């Protein structure tokens, strides 16, 4: 993504698209951490040559297992990935 090229921009973008429920902040905070990690990895590896579709693809359980999470059978993790993907989809 051409307009997101550093950690400050990643933080601002993710904090804007992933809302935190004050009554249950774990889901939003967890989704933010995963999104920020993936986006910073993309920037490190690809510079600005990645898209929101790449980000959504990275958030699938299958790709998460391949790239950054060893055990994706956990239902909580799956829910966090779904939450993160929903935020990216809404922002697209």
Tens digits of per-residue pLDDT, 55-86?
998 888 777 766 666 666 778 778 888 888 88
Q: Compare 50 and 77 and report the one with higher pLDDT.
A: 50
Cβ contacts of residue 32 below 8 Å, gap of 6+? Answer: 14, 15, 18, 20, 84
Domain definitions of the chain by residue range? 7-91
pLDDT tens profile 27-40: 999 999 999 999 99
pLDDT at residue 44 is higher than 90 = yes
Structural contact between residues 87 and 18, judged by C-beta atoms closer than 8 angstroms: yes
* Residues 83/31, Cβ–Cβ less than 8 Å: yes
């Amino acid at each position: 993504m051409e307009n997101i090229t550093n950690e400050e921009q990643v933080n601002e973008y993710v904090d804007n698209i992933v809302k935190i429920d004050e009554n249950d902040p774990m889901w939003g905070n967890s989704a933010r951490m995963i999104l920020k990690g993936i986006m910073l990895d993309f920037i490190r590896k690809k510079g600005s040559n990645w898209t929101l579709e790449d980000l959504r693809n990275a958030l699938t359980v299958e790709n998460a297992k391949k790239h950054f999470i060893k055990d994706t059978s956990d239902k909580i993790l799956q829910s966090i990935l779904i939450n993160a993907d929903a935020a990216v989809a809404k922002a697209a």
